[in-house]
Chain A
Amino acid sequence: MNSHTLWLICRRFGAGVVTLLIVSMVVFAITAVLPGDAAQQSLGQFATPEQVAALRLKLGLDQPGVLRYLHWLMNLLTGDMGQSVSNAMPVGELMAGRVPNTLMLAGATALVSVPLALILGIGSAMGRGGRIDSCLSFITLAMVAVPEFLVATLAVLIFAVNLGWLSALSYATDITSPLQFLRTYALPVMTLCCVIVAQMARMTRAAVIDQLDSPYVEMARLKGVSPIRIVLRHALPNAIGPIANAIALSLSYLLGGVVIVETIFNYPGIASLMVDAVTNRDMALVQACTMLFCAAYLALVLLADLCAILSNPRLRNQ
């Protein structure tokens, strides 16, 4: 790594902070535009006007939005993410209960899906136009097209209800043995894999094919290098940039966009926490979740770019 790369990281980091700031403003503004506020949501249908007024005063909702935003921002700078208005628990505590679950699910899914996607993508690139390629293309396209709630529900019906092999619910707690881990995580991981493997495999295939069409690969082929060696030794290192980006995008989805899977398997992750927060107009919690998603996304994209740079000798030694 050289000064150029370091500079890039610093620049990206600075841009990331600015992006987070802008995102927080936009989210704050959008949440403020939503009909009803936290006081009305928490009191429900039969609230009296004086109850709403009293609760607004207590929660500080009577202050102008800009003031509330600045107040939140100041607290954040001192490390205080605020309190959830719906149950008076610190936001940090609520997040701490969910983040490990989300990371666990995302990690398990990544461990399965990334190697699988690479193998599928490279395999179909190597047999481009052949039977394996069209077969894999058909399967991956079908997987992209089928919505995940259908995959999840069918999987539960078959493996949990009819066969009774796996658990229909996934708890992040109560896991003591590896077998239990497998039973708990198999179905959600499988469902998520269906969604993201297809995307990553398609991208990998395209990136590798792109390289296989280049003159240096033709040269290698003329020299009599074996097809496997051509792909792994010559084409793949040059395709790492786009592949890393595809993987980063898919993984960022795992961190914040898996609300359907969390709902169906009753998995207490961060995405359903965010949905709750929006429903309850719980500003501090919405902001904290958004910041987390956004930061994770930026970090993953930065990592992908670094991979691309480090894998490219021209960029690496600039």
Chain B
Amino acid sequence: MTDHKDTPELISGPDSLRVFEGLNRGMSRRNALQMLGLAGVAAAGAGSLFGSAGKLFAEEATAGGKGKPGGKIRVAGMSSSTADTLDPAKGALSTDYARHYMFYNGLTRFDKHLVPQLELAERIDNVDATLWTITLRKDVTFHNGKGLSAADVVFSLSRHKDPLTGSKVMPLMEQFAEIKATGPNEVQIRLSAPNAELPSILAVSHLLIVPEGTTDFNKGIGTGPFTVGEFKPGVRSVAVRNKNYWKPGLPYLDEIEFIAIADEPSRVNALLSGDVHMINEVNPRSTTRIAASPKHRVVDAPSGNYTDLIIRQDQLPGKSPEFTQAMKLLLDREQVKSAVFRGFAVVGNDHPIAPGSRYFNTDLPQTVYDPEKAKFLLKKAGMESITMPVMASPAATGSVDIAVLLQQSAKQAGLKLDVNRLPSDGYWSNHWMKHPLSFGNINPRPNADVMFSQFFQSKAPWNESGWQNDQFDQLLMLARGETDDAKRAKMYADMQTLVHDHCGIGVPVFISNIDGVDQRIKGYDSNPLGGFMGYMFAEQVWLDA
């Protein structure tokens, strides 16, 4: 991708999509190249970080395809308030992230498989996954004309460590022991402990790059595909095409007006009446309305978001491995998928890595609904006729419905569950992880390391089920320092097996993000990170009106 400038027309948007589909179906990379009939692609993809497949994916992000330039679109997100911000560090909601990706670039960027690809970084080298050297692209300028330099990167990353910045990722940044410029275009990062996942940490929206010394973020000065035309917190933002964007041919659109409609039916109505071109967070119940319209389509984006049954391992009855196992067997995953989420979900296997994402363990046997075996296990544990309360709340998406289904299937195994439906307000602080049986909801995380560290490490504050597993903790540390991708994949696979077998977490399904999109919008894809193509639609879509 380093020399994409010489080959800007190599792969068009539709072409690369075709190749992706091929790759996903199992086509070899060689076939993929033949399909394109291009020998130069391999060279063009030489800057990629991970694996051979990643090299091709890199093209998706940078190649200015044959999209149609021009046009204005209006997009409606789900939430907006006067707390809307253009400061990447403070981004809190999908609306913020989508705006940040319009105006800023990161050092790296997630592709649709959540593999980090080079963006403002030209190359990233490391010594023992601890000392990282990042070389920046030289042809990049900010919206105010200033060239991108190492000082900007040092500023953008260092500011997260100041409590006054109010950064949402401050805990994540504590491992950055030292960030310094070692040349006009070179930044050196020393981590306090090895972490081979640094490139994917650099891709999170909070770490997008701003010019050195920025104090007023409302102007949105970045290197991104759009400049700020107007920004009124809680009302709207207007993004205007950046004519000097460093990726040739991108972006396609002239203008994006971004608003938010908090009320879901109103959001769908606005799409169907043609007032907006794109919406996110569509309720599965509304999908039939959108699908019935010839002018619109539903985009089903499988994601890493899951609602899980938490069986506390440090108190009865979860202390009994048989009981924990039985509860996992009582989750009727197919029914949860079809009845609660109307098919807009992917069956989960009691660990937090979603099928199709990086490091997903394909060899792990799927837990299936088996009330007979559950009954046997409960009997073995001497708990065949106990009554247990289970806490659910609308705060954890779909958990009340899942709990009711669980109650029905538990009856068949002789277990009596009382579903306690709790209000959203205060659920996370007062009930989540605090009962023998409760439900939680975890949003997608940028990589497996962050996910496991935050929610499964024995000493993690959000170790939901309170399980303790030394082997898991050791693997987690080892994987962080492992720079060989294949070996790391093996470690993550083992960790998934451990969580699947021993942890007190039942993950029935991964909930898909549902977007509603006008048929005239082309180049629209999905990303496991979230709706709106992982909030990164702005650069890639075009209007075919």
On A, residues with C-beta under 8 Å from B are 41-46, 48, 50-51, 53-55, 58, 84, 86-87, 89, 94, 97, 153, 156-157, 160-161, 164, 167-169, 263-266, 268, 272-273, 276-277, 279-280, 282, 285
**Does A266 contact B163, Cβ atoms closer than 8 Å?**
no
Which A residues are in CB contact (< 8 Å) with B168? 43-44, 46
Which B residues are in CB contact (< 8 Å) with A277? 82
Cα A139 to Cα B309 with chains together (Å): 50
Given A161-B269, A168-B270, 4 more contacts at CB 8 Å?
Answer: A87-B84, A160-B269, A168-B273, A264-B266
Which interface residue of B85, B170, B233, B275 has the most chain A CB atoms within 10 A? B275
Which B residues are in CB contact (< 8 Å) with A285? 82
**Does B233 contact A43, Cβ atoms closer than 8 Å?**
no
Cα A265 to Cα B262 with chains together (Å): 10
Determine the residue in chain A with the shortest Cβ distance to B165. A51
With contact pairs A86-B82, A276-B83 given, residues A169 and B276 touching in the complex (Cβ less than 8 Å): yes
**Does B263 contact A264, Cβ atoms closer than 8 Å?**
yes
For the complex of A and B, the 6 pairs showing the least CB-CB separation, nearest first, are A54-B163, A160-B273, A86-B83, A276-B81, A168-B273, A51-B163
Determine the residue in chain A with the shortest Cβ distance to B454. A46
With contact pairs A168-B275, A169-B270, A264-B266 given, residues A48 and B82 touching in the complex (Cβ less than 8 Å): no
Which interface residue of B82, B263, B265 has the most chain A CB atoms within 10 A? B82
Q: Please pick, from A42, A169, A273, the residue contacting B166 in the complex, using a CB distance under 8 A.
A: A42
With contact pairs A42-B90, A86-B82, A268-B234 given, residues A169 and B275 touching in the complex (Cβ less than 8 Å): yes
Cα A97 to Cα B231 with chains together (Å): 12
Instruction: Tell me, rounded to whole Å, the shortest Cβ–Cβ distance linking B176 to chain A.
Output: 15
Is B259's beta carbon under 8 Å from chain A?
Answer: yes
Is B274's beta carbon under 8 Å from chain A?
Answer: yes
Cα A45 to Cα B262 with chains together (Å): 20
Interface size for B (C-beta < 8 A) is 37
**Does A43 contact B82, Cβ atoms closer than 8 Å?**
no
Q: Mark B40-81, 1 if CB is under 8 A from A, else 0.
A: 000000000000000000000000000000000000100001
With contact pairs A161-B272, A167-B273 given, residues A48 and B265 touching in the complex (Cβ less than 8 Å): no
Instruction: Tell me, rounded to whole Å, the shortest Cβ–Cβ distance linking B415 to chain A.
Output: 33
**Does B163 contact A280, Cβ atoms closer than 8 Å?**
no
Which B residues are in CB contact (< 8 Å) with A167? 273, 275
With contact pairs A276-B81, A279-B81 given, residues A48 and B171 touching in the complex (Cβ less than 8 Å): yes
**Does B269 contact A272, Cβ atoms closer than 8 Å?**
no
Main secondary structure of the interface of A (DSSP, over half): helix
Is B92's beta carbon under 8 Å from chain A?
Answer: yes
**Does B163 contact A94, Cβ atoms closer than 8 Å?**
no
**Does A276 contact B164, Cβ atoms closer than 8 Å?**
no
Is B490's beta carbon under 8 Å from chain A?
Answer: no
8 contacts between A and B (CB under 8 A): A44-B168, A46-B169, A51-B170, A153-B266, A153-B269, A168-B269, A265-B266, A272-B234
Which B residues are in CB contact (< 8 Å) with A169? 259, 261, 270, 275-276
Cα A272 to Cα B83 with chains together (Å): 13
Is B232's beta carbon under 8 Å from chain A?
Answer: yes
Which A residues are in CB contact (< 8 Å) with B163? 48, 50-51, 53-55
Q: Please pick, from B82, B169, B273, the residue contacting A87 in the complex, using a CB distance under 8 A.
A: B82
**Does B266 contact A263, Cβ atoms closer than 8 Å?**
yes
Instruction: Tell me, rounded to whole Å, the shortest Cβ–Cβ distance linking B267 to chain A.
Output: 9
Which A residues are in CB contact (< 8 Å) with B269? 153, 156-157, 160-161, 168
Which A residues are in CB contact (< 8 Å) with B169? 46
**Does A153 contact B262, Cβ atoms closer than 8 Å?**
no
Determine the residue in chain A with the shortest Cβ distance to B93. A44
Which B residues are in CB contact (< 8 Å) with A273? 82, 234
Which A residues are in CB contact (< 8 Å) with B428? 45
**Does B85 contact A87, Cβ atoms closer than 8 Å?**
yes
Contact residues of B between 183 and 230, Cβ < 8 Å to A: 218
**Does A276 contact B273, Cβ atoms closer than 8 Å?**
no
Cα A153 to Cα B263 with chains together (Å): 10
**Does A276 contact B234, Cβ atoms closer than 8 Å?**
yes
Cα A168 to Cα B76 with chains together (Å): 12
Which interface residue of B167, B266, B273, B428 has the most chain A CB atoms within 10 A? B273
Cα A43 to Cα B269 with chains together (Å): 33
Determine the residue in chain B with the shortest Cβ distance to A275. B81
Which B residues are in CB contact (< 8 Å) with A89? 82, 218, 233
Is B486's beta carbon under 8 Å from chain A?
Answer: no
Cα A51 to Cα B162 with chains together (Å): 8
Which B residues are in CB contact (< 8 Å) with A157? 269
Is B235's beta carbon under 8 Å from chain A?
Answer: yes
Determine the residue in chain B with the shortest Cβ distance to A58. B164
Determine the residue in chain A with the shortest Cβ distance to B426. A35
Cα A265 to Cα B263 with chains together (Å): 9
Q: Please pick, from B81, B85, B166, B274, the residue contacting A51 in the complex, using a CB distance under 8 A.
A: B166
Cα A43 to Cα B266 with chains together (Å): 29
Which B residues are in CB contact (< 8 Å) with A268? 232, 234-236
Cα A94 to Cα B166 with chains together (Å): 22
Which B residues are in CB contact (< 8 Å) with A276? 81-83, 234
Which A residues are in CB contact (< 8 Å) with B76? 266
Determine the residue in chain A with the shortest Cβ distance to B230. A173
With contact pairs A168-B269, A266-B266, A276-B234 given, residues A55 and B82 touching in the complex (Cβ less than 8 Å): no
Q: Please pick, from B82, B164, B261, the residue contacting A94 in the complex, using a CB distance under 8 A.
A: B82
**Does B85 contact A156, Cβ atoms closer than 8 Å?**
no
Determine the residue in chain A with the shortest Cβ distance to B86. A87
Determine the residue in chain A with the shortest Cβ distance to B174. A48
**Does A48 contact B274, Cβ atoms closer than 8 Å?**
no
**Does B262 contact A263, Cβ atoms closer than 8 Å?**
yes
Cα A218 to Cα B218 with chains together (Å): 69
Which interface residue of B164, B236, B262, B266 has the most chain A CB atoms within 10 A? B266
Contact residues of B between 232 and 248, Cβ < 8 Å to A: 232-236
With contact pairs A51-B170, A55-B163, A161-B269 given, residues A97 and B232 touching in the complex (Cβ less than 8 Å): yes
Determine the residue in chain A with the shortest Cβ distance to B172. A46
Cα A41 to Cα B92 with chains together (Å): 11
**Does A156 contact B273, Cβ atoms closer than 8 Å?**
yes
Which B residues are in CB contact (< 8 Å) with A153? 265-266, 269
Which B residues are in CB contact (< 8 Å) with A87? 82-85, 218, 233
Which B residues are in CB contact (< 8 Å) with A263? 262-263, 266
Cα A86 to Cα B259 with chains together (Å): 18
Cα A53 to Cα B162 with chains together (Å): 12
Which A residues are in CB contact (< 8 Å) with B170? 48, 51
Instruction: Tell me, rounded to whole Å, the shortest Cβ–Cβ distance linking A217 to chain B.
Output: 49
Instruction: Tell me, rounded to whole Å, the shortest Cβ–Cβ distance linking B425 to chain A.
Output: 9
